[in-house]
Chains A and B, each alone.
Chain A
Amino acid sequence: MTEPLRTNFHGDLDAVRAEVVHMCAMVTEMIPRATDAFLNNDLTAAQKLIDEDDLLDAVSVNLDTMCTQLLALQQPMATDLREIVAAIRLNPEIERSGDLVVNIAKATRRMFGTEYQPHIRGLITKMSVEAQRMFRLAGEAYEGRDVALGAALDDIDDRLDEYANDLVAAVLSDHKAHERDPQTSIQMALLGRFYERVGDHAVNVGEWVRFIVEGWTPEQAGAQRAMARMNQQSTTPAAPADEQE
Chain B
Amino acid sequence: MADLTTAIAVKESTLTTEHALSPDSGPVSDDMVFQTRDLSVYYGDFRAVRDVELAIPERQITALIGPSGCGKSTVLRSFNRMNDLIPTARVDGTLLYRGVDLYADRVDPVEVRRRIGMVFQKPNPFPKSIFDNVAYGPRIAGIRKKGELNDIVEASLHKAALWDEVKDRLSASATGMSGGQQQRLCIARAIASSPDVLLMDEPCSALDPIATARIEDLMAELKNDYTIMIVTHNMQQAARVSDRTAFFTAEVDIHTDQRTGLLVEYDLTTTIFSNPADERTENYITGRFG
Whether chain B is bound by chain A comes out as yes
Interface contacts (Cβ under 8 Å), in number, total 31
A217 interface residue, CB < 8 Å from B? no
Interface residues of A in 95-125 (CB under 8 A from B): none
Query: Of B210, B236, B270, B273, which one neighbours A5 at CB under 8 angstroms?
Result: B210
With an 8 Å Cβ cutoff, the count of chain A residues facing the other chain is: 12
Q: How distant is the Cα of A74 from the Cα of B241 in the complex, in angstroms?
A: 9
Query: Of A6, A73, A75, which one neighbours B217 at CB under 8 angstroms?
Result: A6
Of the candidates A5, A9, A73, the one having the most CB atoms from chain B within 10 angstroms of its own CB is A73
Residue-wise interface mask of A (52-76) relative to B, using a CB-CB cutoff of 8 A (1 in contact, 0 not): 0000000000000000110011110
Q: Determine if B217 and A8 form an interchain contact, defined as CB atoms under 8 angstroms apart.
A: yes
Interface residues of B in 192-240 (CB under 8 A from A): 210, 213-214, 216-217, 220, 236, 239-240
Q: How distant is the Cα of A73 from the Cα of B241 in the complex, in angstroms?
A: 9
Q: Determine if A6 and B216 form an interchain contact, defined as CB atoms under 8 angstroms apart.
A: yes
Size category of the B interface is 10 to 19
B269 interface residue, CB < 8 Å from A? yes
Q: Determine if B270 and A73 form an interchain contact, defined as CB atoms under 8 angstroms apart.
A: yes
Q: Determine if B239 and A8 form an interchain contact, defined as CB atoms under 8 angstroms apart.
A: no
Closest chain B residue to A4 by CB distance?
B217
Query: Of B213, B216, B220, B274, which one neighbours A68 at CB under 8 angstroms?
Result: B274
Query: Of A5, A69, A72, A73, which one neighbours B213 at CB under 8 angstroms?
Result: A5
Query: Of B210, B214, B273, which one neighbours A73 at CB under 8 angstroms?
Result: B273
A7 interface residue, CB < 8 Å from B? yes
Q: How distant is the Cα of A115 from the Cα of B274 in the complex, in angstroms?
A: 53
Residue-wise interface mask of A (180-211) relative to B, using a CB-CB cutoff of 8 A (1 in contact, 0 not): 00000000000000000000000000000000
Residues of A within 8 A of B236 (CB): 75
Residues of B within 8 A of A239 (CB): none
A78 interface residue, CB < 8 Å from B? no
Q: How distant is the Cα of A6 from the Cα of B273 in the complex, in angstroms?
A: 19
Q: How far is the CB of B283 from chain A (nearest CB, A)?
A: 16
Residue-wise interface mask of B (270-285) relative to A, using a CB-CB cutoff of 8 A (1 in contact, 0 not): 1001100000000000
A1 interface residue, CB < 8 Å from B? yes
Interface residues of A in 9-62 (CB under 8 A from B): 9
Q: Determine if B240 and A5 form an interchain contact, defined as CB atoms under 8 angstroms apart.
A: no
Q: Taking beta carbons and an 8 Å cutoff, which residues of B are in contact with A? A: 210, 213-214, 216-217, 220, 236, 239-240, 269-270, 273-274
Q: Taking beta carbons and an 8 Å cutoff, which residues of A are in contact with B? A: 1, 5-9, 68-69, 72-75
